Chains A and B, each alone.
Chain A
Amino acid sequence: MKAKFRFILAAGVLGLLMTGPFALTALLLFADARDAERVAFAEFLLPRLPLGGLLTVMGFIAGVMLLRSLFQHYVHGLMRMAETLRLMLGANRNFRVVPEGPPEIRELARAANDLAQQRDELLNDVEAQIGQAKATVEEEKNRLAALMSELALGVVVCNLDGRILLYNSRARLQFKALAQGPTSMSGGALIGLGRSIFSILERGQITHSLENIQQRLRKGSAEPTANFITTTRSGALLRAQMAPVLRTGATGAAVAQMHDNPPGPLSGKGGDDVSGHAAPAHEKILSNALGADLQVTGYVLTIENITRNFEREAERDQALQSLTDGNRAALGNIRAAVETLIGSPEMEADYRERFTRVIADEAAAMSSRLEVTMSRFADALKTRWPLEDVLAVDILAAAASRIEAKLQLPIKHEDQDASLWMRVDSFALIQAITFLASRLQDHYAIRELRLRLATEGRMVFVDLIWSGTPVSSETLYTWELEPMNVGAETSPLTLRDVIDRHGAEIWYQRDKAAHNAFFRIVLPAAATPDAPVIDQAQHLHSDSRPEYYDFDLFAARDAAGSGIDLERKLTELAYSVFDTETTGLQPSQGDEIIQMGAVRIVNNRLLRQEIFDQLVDPVIPLKPEGIPIHGITEAMVNGQPRLDVVLPAFHEFCAETVLVAHNAAFDMRFFQLKEDSLGIRFTQPVLDTLLLSAVIHPSQESHRLESIAERLGINVIGRHTALGDAFVTGEVFLKMIPLLADMGIVTLRQALDAAQKTYFARIKY
């Protein structure tokens, strides 16, 4: 635009220069002459004027032509060169300016190339040195990776938002085995860097475990870890252990304020004012765990699939029970009979006969029961529900805040012995208490619940007390057998399961004198309380841990927890780069998708392991002319899943990421045509590498994927499979991010705006 304007200006000046001096001379002569001379001058000049004018116009045209060619060679040539120089500066170091045009420009190009050559040599030298330093670090990392992959346990590292920073292959396999339906197509892609752990594990349980860890940290516990059992969507049983990832000497406003404002002894409410922003609840709680200069920045989960172990455990329990309880009765019968026989020497013969038969029968039954039990017991593994020693008041405090939050039911605490420890699965127990509270509220409209804690021998009593309407024991029996669902929160466990798991009992009792009623849960007390170890905090400092957890995502924050913030930097976002192969180019005329491929980008890295690669049965016949392009034949698509299965799976794969594709409008059109019939919508932002290329290199003619890849120095392998193209597009996109930043396009919104502008610009032409 600017060059064009300058060209017009130059042509104007040329015109003026060619006509101006001549006209001025004529005017001066005319003014100087007398009347007769003027007439003679006019008579002489006027008839010859057309010839002069014609020659001038021809001269002018020749001048403009010359000017234009100079412009072409020098100005445009220089502009093109500037673009390629920028390219050399950033995306493609090996790119060189092609010397073309007039000698001066060629010379300049050669000089620039020499300069680039020199720079490359310097850079190579620096890189070699960095490489050496990196190699040692890499070696350490590889050692960790090897260690992780050898582990029989699944390991997942998450930041406080629940984003996965690291996982080992075992974890991947475990979750892949659990994936059912569409997700199994993407290779268990629910687990992936930057993905949310909450799509696999229940948020409540993670939060609860973090709270437990925080409490332990505050007490200076030797083992600030938490255990829990969870059931997945597919019904498998997982046992997880959570250990915090800590950072010492944390700085920042929140920390400073925490020191001025130490958290309260239990609920830690003192820190509420610290987090003014909408932080997730667990984050808020954790920001209080700074008493010992420790900041939890994330957590390591070790996960084990114990579905089978649990089945064995249940079997083992049964075995034990039939050994103890089953034999108790038999032994009781024998003992009673024997003692009766001994105590009654006068007994008649037929009675005596009956008593001895009882003894013989019961003894035989006991032997065979023992036989069966022992053989079953031999295979049973020693797996246990992970019961933890917890302060009883802590459980009640947690239950109270949960009930108040979920049910808006006021809770009062009475007679709570703060020194009582219990051995419990705290999540399940709190769920059970909440469940009872919600049933009381729903069916008996209680307005307040009081929680009491008492002890007797080696037992702890947890009482839920309310005034007013009495409940019948039958009601409690029914409640015991229902799944503990509270509002939208569902649990596969029943109250009875929880009670049995703890070796506990529950019953209903009335205190007529006090005009109230209560449910009493009796639990075994913990024998050995978790003794506080003071200097243990020393070991928790991060310098005692290998520094493998230095992941950028620890710092990442999701403003709303879901959805994509348009103000975030392009370098911080997660992307799903995808491509489709289709039967033809006319989606509206019945062409269909036959292959979909996608790869994820997280933290500026193309994750070649986290992919989506699926052939699709288009139901319509393939067009013969398309087969040489995509290489997909009828035989390949036959028996493949149809789009109504594949697209929802792809939708899940892309959740919470920005979509990236080359000529995205084409692919999105196919999706849009299916949106209504499949009931899924791709609402996330879409970036198009074609449009972005036009933003970066407006003067280049071709914005085909191959041309862009070549320009940016990317090797193109495996094109024209959906996944192959997605890989190329992903690499192209990663190279584009710094080029966009050079132009001041940093955030997602800026990129979308810029792309839209070129889009309209292109439409106009």
Chain B
Amino acid sequence: MSHRILIVDDEPNIVISLEYLMKKEGFQIAIASDGEAALRLASEFAPDLILLDVMMPKKSGFEVCEALRADPARAGVKIIMLTAKGRETEITKGLALGADSYITKPFSTKDLVVQIKSLLA
């Protein structure tokens, strides 16, 4: 059975690549374009892994991450945070709030796929 991945980003130009990549790797995909949709899909779609952007309308990636980690039902879900801000302090914050990995844009698609696979293994 293939893993389910939720892509959360408000920028269609990155979503298109992520979607294509994940599908190519054989994952099942759902897409959310803001924080609230992300939380809704996190329970409806029950993903194994979430690719989570930080800067989004309505709820930031940090808030989504905190909410997911506070919910025991979603305890197992892996979270990779994707951000366009590369400050060290911010990365530390994301990891402290419970993200499993933190990737800054621009990133290598190959590395991203490797990361995802190792987290889901």
- Are chains A and B native binding partners rather than an unrelated pairing? yes
| A325 adjacent to B85 (CB under 8 Å) | yes
Stretch at the interface among A84-92, A517-525, A748-756: A517-525
Q: Which residue of B lies closest to A328 (CB)?
A: B84
- Whole-angstrom distance between the Cβ of A200 and the nearest chain B Cβ: 35
The closest CB in chain A to the CB of B24 belongs to A344
Cβ–Cβ contact A354 & B16, under 8 A = yes
Check B14 against A336 for contact (C-beta < 8 Å): yes
Assess whether B43 is interfacial by the CB under 8 Å rule: no
Q: A358, B16: Cβ atoms under 8 Å?
A: yes
- Assess whether A710 is interfacial by the CB under 8 Å rule: no
- Complex interface: chain B residues within 8 A of A457 (CB): 88
B66 to nearest A CB, angstroms? 5
| Inter-chain contact B13/A358, CB cutoff 8 Å | yes
Contact indicator A328/B93 (Cβ below 8 Å):
no
Segment touching A, from B27-35, B71-79, B107-115: B107-115
Interchain CB contact under 8 A, A333 and B97: no
| Residue A509 is within 8 A (CB to CB) of chain B in the complex | yes
Stretch among A500-508, A532-540, A596-604 lining the B interface: A500-508
A325, A333, A456, A509: which contacts B13 (Cβ < 8 A)? A333
Q: Pick the contact of A522 from B62, B93, B97 — CB < 8 Å? A: B93
Alpha-carbon separation in the docked complex, A164 to B24 (Å): 75
- Contact partners of A523 in chain B: CB under 8 A: 89
Whether A504 and B89, one on each chain, are in contact in the complex, defined by CB atoms closer than 8 angstroms, is yes
**What residue in chain B is nearest A521 (Cβ atoms)?**
B89
List B residues 21-67 near A (Cβ within 8 Å): 21, 24, 62-63, 66
How long is the Cα–Cα vector from A328 to B66 in the complex, in angstroms? 25
Chain A residues contacting B17 (CB-CB under 8 Å) are: 333, 336-337, 339-340, 355, 358
Q: Which residues of A contact B84 (CB under 8 A)?
A: 325-326, 328-329, 332
- In the complex, whether B90 has a CB less than 8 A from a CB of chain A is yes
State which of B20, B97, B109 has its C-beta within 8 Å of the C-beta of A351: B20
- Give A324 to B90 CA distance when docked, in angstroms: 15
Q: Do A329 and B87 touch across chains, with their CB atoms under 8 A apart? A: no
Complex CA gap A347/B21 in Å reads 11
Among B11, B17, B20, B87, find the residue whose CB has the most chain A CB atoms closer than 10 A. Answer: B17
Are A335 and B97 interface neighbours, CB within 8 A? no
* Given A335-B109, A340-B17, A340-B20, A329 and B11 contact (CB-CB distance below 8 Å): yes
- A331→B90 CA distance, assembly (Å): 20
Cβ 8 A contact of B97, one of A331, A458, A507 = A507
Interface: A362 (CB within 8 A): yes
Q: How far, in whole Å, are A332 and B87 apart by their CA atoms in the complex? A: 16
Count how many pairs of residues, one from A and one from B, have CB atoms less than 8 Å apart in the complex: 99
Additional 12 contacts, C-beta under 8 A, given A332-B14, A340-B17, A458-B88:
A328-B85, A331-B105, A332-B84, A335-B107, A335-B109, A336-B14, A354-B16, A473-B66, A477-B63, A507-B93, A522-B93, A524-B89
The answer to whether A343 and B109 touch across the interface, beta carbons within 8 angstroms, is yes
Q: A459 interface residue, CB < 8 Å from B?
A: yes
A332 touches B93 (CB 8 A): no
Q: For window 312-342 of chain A, which residues contact chain B by CB distance below 8 Å? A: 324-326, 328-337, 339-340
Q: Is B96 an interface residue (CB 8 A)?
A: yes
On whether the beta carbons of B89 and A332 are closer than 8 Å, the reply is no
Chain B CB within 10 A, most for which of A458, A503, A522, A524: A522
- B14, B62, B85, B92: the one contacting A333 at CB < 8 Å is B14
Cβ-closest 4 pairs across A and B: A332-B105, A336-B17, A329-B84, A339-B109
Least CB separation from B19: chain A residue: A340
Rounded to whole angstroms, the CA-CA distance of A459 and B66 in the bound complex is 22
| Residue ID in chain A nearest B92 by CB atoms | A522
Residues of A within 8 A of B92 (CB): 456, 459, 505, 522
Taking the closest CB of chain B, its distance from the CB of A369, in whole angstroms, is 13
| Bound Cα distance from A344 to B113, whole angstroms | 14
- Tell me, in angstroms, the Cα distance from A362 to B85 when the chains sit together: 18
Judge whether A361 and B13 touch: CB under 8 Å. yes
CA distance A5 to B13 in the complex (A): 113
Q: Which residues of A contact B93 (CB under 8 A)?
A: 505, 507, 522
- Chain B 89-121 residues near chain A, CB threshold 8 A: 89-90, 92-93, 96-97, 104-110
Q: Which residues of A contact B88 (CB under 8 A)?
A: 457-459, 524
- Chain B residues with Cβ under 8 A from A331's Cβ? 105-106
List chain B residues, Cβ under 8 A from A337. Answer: 13, 16-17
Please give, as numbers and ranges, the residues of chain B lying within 8 Å of A343 by CB-CB distance.
24, 109-110
Residues of A within 8 A of B21 (CB): 336, 340
Residues from chain B with a CB closer than 8 A to the CB of A340 are 17, 20-21, 24, 109
Chain B residue at smallest Cβ distance from A347: B20
User: Is the beta-carbon distance between A328 and B89 smaller than 8 angstroms?
Assistant: no
Q: What is the chain B residue whose CB lies nearest that of A335?
A: B106
Bound Cα distance A330, B92 (Å)? 23
Among A328, A347, A358, which residue has its beta carbon within 8 angstroms of that of B104? A328
What residues on A are CB-neighbors of B85 within 8 Å? 325, 328
